[in-house]
Amino acid sequence: MLEKGKRIPNWKVRDADGREHELWDYRQKSHLVILYDPQASQETVSQWQKTVQAERQRWDWLHTAVLIAHEAPKEMTPGAYVIDRYGMFWNYFPPDEWSFEGLEKDLVYYEARHC
C-alpha cells in the first residue's frame, strides 16, 4: 500500500476507453483521482464517466484529472486514489467508501491546507 506524503510509483493504468496513462505524466500539471474497481459493472463505469463529464467544471476548478482505470498494476487495490500535483500520494478510499462529493471535499481540504 502507498504511504501518505510519499511519491507514487510511475504506474501505468489503462482507462475505461482503452488509453494507457503513466501517472508521472500528470506531475506538475494537475492533481489526479484514480477510480479503480475491477468488479464494477459496465453500467457503473458508464455512470462514473457521465458524472465526471457532467461535473467537468468542478474538476477543472480543482485542477484535477479523473481517471477511471480499467487495468492497473497488481499493487493497486480497488478504490479511489487521490494524488497531488507533485506526484505525492494524498489519500485512499475503499470501493464502497468514496463519493464524488467526498473526493471534492478531500481536494478542497488539501488546497486549503497547502495555500
Q: Are 69 and 35 in contact (CB under 8 A)?
A: yes
- pTM (2 decimals)? 0.93
Cα 78 to Cα 98: distance, rounded to the nearest angstrom? 11
In the chain, where does DSSP find H-type helix? 42-54, 56-61, 100-113
Q: Are 57 and 4 in contact (CB under 8 A)?
A: no
Mean pLDDT of the chain: 94
Three-state secondary structure call for residue 44: helix
Q: What percent of the chain has pLDDT over 90?
A: 91
- Whether residue 71 is predicted with pLDDT greater than 80 in this model: the reply is yes
Number of residues written out for the chain: 115
- Whether residue 115 is predicted with pLDDT greater than 90 in this model: the reply is no
Q: How many CB atoms lie within 10 A of CB 6?
A: 10
